[in-house]
């Protein structure tokens, strides 16, 4: 395929624009939470895998954490196991946990590993139970009640929260040519499994590794102001104002809180980006414009 002179100049401009970012981030860790449309549409899956491989080839250290809620729901339906949710979290009894482990640790994780490997990378699939990577405890859910004076405690089963990240296995991977792909399943003190929100796992891993960036792929443009305009940058104080005014609400609340917590823990910046855009990760990391909202203390 031949290109015109103008097309060639555009390609050269993109490559030279990426150069200072590659130089700045070389050797640094980028944690990417992979989910949404980017994980289900074939063209976006291919572009994501190529982004991850290219990042590794130019000297960055990508670490992928993935979700899999729709795939879990599909298999539960096939097995005639009804799904229940509390505050957006899947109630996870022992039968549901078996399905979660099967889908996340097996089906989805291996599909992503295979996708990256086919694109020329060397991915390794892990769950949080491997080498005790993710230590977890049962998540306590409280819900206000008009009848009771104190909040009601709701049991949602084997849903967990991260208590510790044991980074040794990730250090081995990132110091080599391996790309870790992590399923968000944690291990309790007695070896029991916990289903953990993938955004929270990505944030905890980014914090533990002292990552340069935490990137959360979503199915929206990014964070918008009260006029519906995309905010390319956001600091903690601005985010708090948007939360208090109700501009940031619903499913975006835990994502923005995850990003803020990661930045507070030492991650240089967090990014909430539009995973519906092809090559969204590369565009956010290696270009001036990006495709979402960058969150950081110094912005």
Rounded Cα distance, 147 and 89, in Å: 24
At 183 the three-state DSSP class reads strand
How much is the average pLDDT of 104-115? Answer: 96
Mean pLDDT of the chain: 90
Band the pLDDT of 101: cuts 50, 70, 90: very high
Are 134 and 186 in contact by the 8 Å Cβ rule? The answer is: yes
Q: Are 293 and 213 in contact (CB under 8 A)?
A: no
- What confidence tens digit (pLDDT) does each residue in 3-56 have? 677 777 777 777 888 899 999 999 999 999 998 888 888 999 999 999 999 999
| Distance, CA of 89 to CA of 197 (rounded, Å) | 8
3-state secondary structure of 165: strand
d(Cα 186, Cα 182) in Å, to the nearest integer? 11
Per-residue confidence (pLDDT) for residue 37, from 0 to 100:
81
Domains present along the chain, CATH in parentheses: 27-295 (3.40.1160.10)
pLDDT of residue 145 exceeding 70, the answer is no
């Amino acid at each position: 395929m031949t290109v015109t002179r103008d097309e060639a100049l555009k390609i050269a401009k993109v490559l030279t624009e990426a150069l200072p970012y590659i130089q700045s981030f070389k050797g640094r860790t980028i944690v990417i939470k992979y989910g949404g449309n980017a994980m289900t549409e074939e063209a976006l899956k291919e572009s994501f895998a190529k982004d991850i491989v290219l990042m590794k080839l130019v000297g960055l250290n990508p670490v992928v954490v993935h979700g899999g809620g729709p795939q879990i729901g599909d298999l539960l339906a096939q097995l005639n196991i009804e799904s229940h949710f509390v505050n957006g979290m899947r109630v996870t009894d022992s039968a549901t946990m078996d399905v979660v482990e099967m889908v996340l640790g097996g089906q989805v994780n291996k599909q992503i590993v295979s996708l990256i490997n086919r694109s020329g990378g060397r991915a390794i699939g892990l769950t949080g139970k491997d080498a005790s990577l993710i230590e977890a405890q049962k998540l306590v859910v409280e819900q206000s009640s008009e009848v009771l004076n104190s909040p009601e405690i709701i049991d949602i089963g084997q849903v967990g929260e991260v208590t510790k990240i044991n980074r040794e296995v990730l250090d081995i991977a990132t110091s080599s040519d391996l790309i870790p792909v992590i399923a968000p399943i944690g291990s309790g003190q007695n070896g029991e499994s916990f289903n953990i929100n993938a955004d929270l796992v990505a944030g905890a891993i980014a914090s533990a590794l002292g990552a340069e960036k935490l990137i959360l792929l979503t199915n929206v443009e990014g964070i918008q102001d009260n006029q519906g305009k995309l905010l390319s940058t956001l600091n903690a104080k601005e985010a708090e104002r948007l939360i208090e005014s109700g501009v940031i609400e619903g499913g975006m609340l835990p994502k923005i809180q995850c990003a803020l917590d990661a930045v507070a823990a030492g991650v240089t910046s967090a990014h909430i980006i539009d995973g519906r855009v092809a090559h969204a990760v590369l565009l956010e990391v290696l270009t001036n414009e990006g495709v979402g909202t960058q969150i950081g203390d110094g912005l």
